[in-house]
Amino acid sequence: MNAATPAGSAGSPGASTIVTIPLNDPGEGLTEAEILEIKVAVGDRVEINAAVVEVETAKSAVELSTHVAGTVVAILVAVGDEVPIGAGLIQVDTAGGPVLAAAPQPAAPQSNVAVPAPSQPEADPSAEELAMQATDAAATASAPSATATEEPKNLVGYGAQATPQRRRRRLAEQAQSDDGQQVPIGRILAKPPVRKLARDLGVALHDVLATGPEGTVTRQDVLNAQQRAYGGEVDGDYFPEESPQAPEGLGGAMKSTRDQPFSGVTSDDRTTRVPIRSVRKRTAEAMVASAFTAPHVTVFNEIDMTSAVQIVNQLRASREWTDVKVSPLAVIAKALLVAIRRNPEVNASWDEANQEIVYKHYVNLGIAAATPRGLIVPNLKDAHLMTLRELAEGISELARTARAGRTSLRDTRDGTITVTNYGVFDIDSGTPILNPGESAILGVGAIKEKAWVVDGQIVPRKVATLSLSFDHRLIDGALGAELLRDVSAVLEDPSLGLVWG
């Protein structure tokens, strides 16, 4: 973050300066981002470059920091908010003075909301109310002739409806809907595994009824929210840590067991509506642009992968490779790079603005990754210069950072050709869509044991289907078929990689 909007100035000795930290574009050309986590609370002391908010962008989760030091006096957003670029996130008193005093409030309605000890301000359900009051006071102080009856100034990036009023209504509804056991919460408390589970299931944490200590969202709370959304039984032990898929059984009887409202569920319980946001939104835009810009052609080839699988098994058993996670995908990537070397014309892009075909002398190899946030395609820079070991290590690292939501913007730019492995989902073949700006994408199906004819004899072999989609403006059918044939040849006889590579 590199900008701030002063909400006050040091007009006299000892006067504090309130600085509004806005949401700046992390570099992806965004217009908005979703708030995933607020890492500070009112009253916290922050230093320069301290992470204050985590947002979800088009590619990953990004921590945003402050470029000023001071005391947090107001939090202007809530978890789950879609915040436009330029809108304020937090306000910091750069003079390091005391937190703005909260105005006396009338007694709140009686409820059973747990109130933690003062030593835990981040869990205090009144912390957000204090933030709203501090925001109102800071905005009023910025007006030269403001009076007690005037409306506070709008915050930077917000419209006529003041955000603090909207959050105040949410807190009021929280108190009125309390049933003594479960309460919806404004500032969401949940451990990272619970947040991940909610993202995997598509459950919005701010719509979950929290039953944990001091209003903490538990794993069971998230599962209950999923059950209320879809009806039926939910197996709490079904979800493997690496699986983003919904549990079995949700496609059965749709009789609702909801006793509380769940965001997005229609009144007849027949549909659920979820806003299109972040990675899913950007992926949709990119795929539509690609499908209706580049004329796609897809060719297929079923091949014998037995020799390639044997190489993978030998490497896994080798002491020199014990620290490397080697997979068939690394061998397939190497075969594709060898084939590109033999057919360099495929490594190109179509420049519509300049009416040119750009032939590239490097390969930035994209690896399509399915993540809980959606599909992203980070790429290995200069993959044509990598050894098989470097490819294996690079693919593992891209997969790890993608699953963690930490893919950098640089890793998603300037790809040339992509590999997508839908075989991990036990799918035999498909017609992949090009990543925008790229010339081709190789799809890899599941490797299965099948009957295969070898030297006139039917024998069991490891067989897979490869599919190659390409931009027909750049690649003619003969060239596309030649590329796929060469990839297939290297995988069937890996020794060709030594001759051609």
Cα–Cα distance, 480 to 346 (Å, whole number) = 8
Q: Are 384 and 363 in contact (CB under 8 A)?
A: yes
Listing DSSP states for 176-225 in one string gives: HT--SS-B--SS-EE-HHHHHHHHHHT--GGGS-B-SGGGEEPHHHHHHH
Q: What is the pLDDT of residue 278?
A: 64
Out of 12-26, 27-41, 68-82, 134-148, the most confident range is 68-82
Q: What is the dihedral of CA 303, 307, 309, 314, to 10 degrees?
A: -170
Among 138-152, 290-304, 421-435, the minimum mean pLDDT is found in 138-152
Just list the catalytic residues.
472
- pLDDT score, position 486: 97
At 369 the pLDDT is: 87
Q: What is the pLDDT of residue 169?
A: 35
Least confidently predicted of 177-181, 296-300, 343-347, 446-450: 177-181
Q: Is the confidence at residue 287, as pLDDT, over 90?
A: no
Cα(93)–Cα(41) distance, integer angstroms: 13
Q: Determine the pLDDT at residue 58.
A: 62
Q: What is the set of domains in the chain, with CATH numbers?
A: 5-176 (2.40.50.100), 189-275 (4.10.320.10), 279-500 (3.30.559.10)
Contacts of 53 (CB under 8 A, 6+ apart): 23, 35, 37, 38, 39, 40, 63, 64, 77, 89, 90
In the predicted structure, residue 251 carries a pLDDT above the cut 50: no
Question: Which two three-digit tokens encode residue 362?
Answer: 């490097």
What is the model's pLDDT at position 478?
A: 95
Q: Amino acid letter at 364?
A: N
Task: Tell me what pLDDT residue 173 has.
Answer: 38
pLDDT the model gives residue 329: 94
